Amino acid sequence: MVAAGEEQGGAQKQGREQRRSRGAWSAMEARGRANTGRGGRVCRIKRWFPGPSECHTGTIPAYPPRMSKPVIQRFPLGAFQTNCFVAWVPAADAGSVGRECWIIDPGEDPEEVIEFVRSKGLVPSHILLTHAHADHIAGLNAVSAAFPAARVLLHAEEHAFLNDPQLNLSAFIGMPITTRGADGTLANGDRLELSGSVWRVLHTPGHSPGGVTIVCDGANEAFVGDTLFAGSIGRVDFPTSDPATMHRSLHTVLMALPDSVRAHPGHGPSTTIGAERRTNPWLQDGGWAAEG
């Protein structure tokens, strides 16, 4: 379990998860070839991770005094080990029963997420999607069926991804995914409230056109999707990716956040903006020069 300032799991566990994630696309591609069965071309995408403009505006809301900090539980799901998160703010007595929660990026085989939410007595109000690639929406139908009152929100640029296997990339692995539609949008500058904690939406396209980051400035927490990873960044060679846009999202938007912000990525362990600013090779001068 990850609360503000806590690390999830041991280094050994994180290493195993990262290794599984990095090889997952190959495994899914192989499975897709077996399922295609008609000699159809399957895109040769070997891994989800790559190989070797809006800054802060306005007033950042202070975190309410005496309010519990958000608790964030991470679930690496499916062959891609895609991080699904459950976030909630405990009651004053640290209880969770009846507390509102969000479910972020429900990936493949989400049964443990559903069981966890029910066991805690949490009440999902929203299912938030940082973007709508296959590995982040594979469990959306199941989670939505389990919690029908939860509203599905994502950026308008990717509403069509939910029922288009070409756009969400599932067609390329021979396992087409379509899901229920969205209930609303996440747009740059939107403010969301979770039990008194205020979060804002930043549009961070590049890996995909509707990628978003969801930030709680007062608690120094951010869900960054596949824009930023610990020591790496998201791929920019997909059909709807754009390297120059990704470069701007990383350097103009995410690197405008304070060093203390804890970034929860779509794959791998959590990190901080400060750690990535200092050590991520893709963010250093000369580490990656995007065209455009």
Domain membership of residue 2 (yes or no) is no
Q: Which residue's entry shows tokens 């791998």?
A: 268
The answer on pLDDT for 94 being more than 70 is yes
Q: What is the pLDDT of residue 173?
A: 84
Q: What DSSP state is assigned to residue 70? A: P
Please check the confidence at residue 19 and state whether its pLDDT lies above 90. Answer: no
| 252 in a structural domain | yes
In a domain, 49, yes or no: no
At 33 the pLDDT is 36
The sheet carrying 71-77 orders its strands as: 2-3, 71-77, 82-88, 100-104, 123-128, 151-154, 184-185
For residue range 252-287, what is the model confidence (pLDDT) as tens digits? 999 999 999 999 999 999 999 999 999 999 998 766
* Assigned domain for 11 exists: no
Q: At what angle do helices 11-22 and 24-36 cross, to 10 degrees?
A: 40
Q: Is 61 contained in some domain? A: no
Number of domains in the chain: 1
Q: φ, ψ for residue 157 (rounded to 5)?
A: -60, -20
- Token look-up 């756009």 returns 167
The domain of 259 spans 17-40+67-283
1 in a domain, yes or no? no
DSSP 3-state of 269: coil
In a domain, 205, yes or no: yes
Alpha carbon distances (Å) from 246 to 39, 118, 168: 34, 37, 18
pTM of the model: 0.80
Query: What is the per-residue DSSP string for 195-243?
Result: TTEEEEEEE--SSSTT-EEEEETTTTEEEEETSEETTEE----STT--H
Q: Is the dihedral of CA 182, 266, 138, 3 positive or negative?
A: negative
Instruction: Quote the percentage of the chain above a pLDDT of 90.
Output: 71
Instruction: Let me know if residue 156 belongs to a domain.
Output: yes
pLDDT at 21 over 80: no
Q: What is the mean pLDDT of residues 95-107?
A: 97
Digit-coded pLDDT (tens) for 66-89: 668 999 999 999 999 999 999 999
CATH no. for residue 82? 3.60.15.10
The H or E element that residue 73 is part of is: strand 71-77
The better pLDDT of the pair 289, 7 is held by: 289
Q: What is the pLDDT of residue 115?
A: 99
Please check the confidence at residue 29 and state whether its pLDDT lies above 50: no
Q: pLDDT digit string (tens) for 114-131?
A: 999 999 999 999 999 999
